[in-house]
Chain A
């Protein structure tokens, strides 16, 4: 793509999310979502093959439906409250419709079906933007309407998302689908605590974005999109096998790494609000996630996967430039000792 056009379209994606995050008028928020959706379509379609076109079409259809539902919720809110300001949504019908619309945009169950298919059809860099940046805008709106969200619906969607994200990722060998199911599960964790303490949602979002960025950049660096291809990275850059190990275990939520911090805080916040069964279930279902992360680390870093001798050599493409990888790796594994600092948050 022409670099000038590509820059313009990428900046419009950023502008769309920024408009969503800083507007105080519901109509501007809807315009921001539409601008975001419109501009990300050519980014998803960077290569012109049928898979990317199908993935872009699926993404467009689901997100456009979600925007329509959002608009209907906005108008019902307008009818009952008479104003367009972003506050909590007072009418229960509008609140439920808006929650469903934002859940469709995030990829929560039962609207999760597009996430693995769209992520699989696009290139690794586009998948990176899709799974990290595109989650910011809907989550910021959920944060702003969080006092009025119907707890039953949100918690049901969250728990089912964690279950589907864990269970669905078990049979996958394609790395992009694994990251997609990981995204569904993490969105479930984030929305579970939204009503109780929205700050932890933002914390979880921040750490999730760092870890997902790291994982995708490691995949881009080793040019691998399948588990088999990833298991040959010991041949190209042995150091990345250790980094993949650390980052994957951090995503699984294991203690000395920073991925444990959001899960710990979320479980603590939920138990403070006298719900015991829910965080127990969530923690148990996170084990499913951990299982397929560990399978990835097992095949990549801990063992040399059996293959024929001519497959052991990895094709050496020219080294792709990966931005900010060392800081990201450090941040996605070593942040746990900073947990007491969370007390300064609101």
Chain B
């Protein structure tokens, strides 16, 4: 099972995405976002990116999702919608689950799957340690490169976030 752990985690990832895309109340959306964040962290860590996985837990789940949870709790309604409360929501959720199950069976059964790109069955999901990563781990070097070669990206994304805050304040200010 451990060779196919990435495949299993990715299936849980997609299922939790289906869970919040079927639009229950935001509180329950936040719940599956926690699950998907944790599972995504697992996927990244299997590729050797322990630092990024930690960032997902700390910043995404522990920072952004906590703030999201608090604001949603302040704005919630008396009877929030669950997946089973509304026929539409349950129908969409079951449809998404069904499509994912069919895709998983297709991947498990056939040798090669070619939807937009080809990959050969479940074997492609297993991580082969090809070695030769040198002394330093690649993803730490990537993070370091973000602040040296990729300084422009940092400036642009930092400015986008700042303007995002300005825009949100401007939009919600009203008259």
Contact = CB atoms under 8 A, between A and B. Distances in A.
Describe B's contact surface by its main secondary structure: helix
Contact of B167 (A28, A41, A93): A41
11 contacts: A8-B166, A9-B163, A9-B167, A12-B163, A28-B153, A31-B156, A31-B157, A39-B167, A45-B171, A76-B116, A79-B117
A34 B164 CA distance: 10
B68 interface: no
Given A9-B170, A28-B156, A45-B171, A35 B117 contact: no
Describe A's contact surface by its main secondary structure: helix
Interface in A1-36: 1, 5, 8-9, 12, 15, 19, 27-28, 31-32, 34-35
Q: Which of B153, B163, B174 has the most CB of A within 10 A?
A: B163
Interface in B115-137: 116-117
Contacts of A147: none
Interface extent on B, as a size class? 10 to 19
Given A15-B159, A19-B156, A35-B156, A80 B170 contact: no
A9 B175 contact: no
Contact of B163 (A38, A76, A79): A38
A27 B171 CA distance: 27
A9 B166 contact: yes
A317 interface: no
Q: Which of B164, B170, B174, B175 has the most CB of A within 10 A?
A: B170
Q: Which of A27, A34, A39 has the most CB of B within 10 A?
A: A39
B117 to A, nearest CB: 5
B160 A48 contact: no
Contacts of A31: 153, 156-157, 160
Contacts of A12: 159, 163
Nearest to B171: A42
A92 B12 CA distance: 31
Given A28-B153, A34-B160, A41-B171, A80 B166 contact: no
B166 A5 contact: yes
Contacts of B117: 76, 79-80
A34 B116 CA distance: 25
B24 to A, nearest CB: 20
Nearest to B170: A42
A9 B162 CA distance: 10
Q: 10 tightest A-B contacts by CB? A: A42-B170, A12-B163, A35-B160, A48-B175, A79-B117, A42-B167, A38-B167, A39-B163, A48-B174, A42-B171
Interface string B133-161: 00000000000000000001100110110
A47 to B, nearest CB: 9
B155 to A, nearest CB: 11
A344 to B, nearest CB: 34
Contacts of B170: 1, 5, 9, 42, 45
A303 B32 CA distance: 65
Contacts of B116: 76, 93
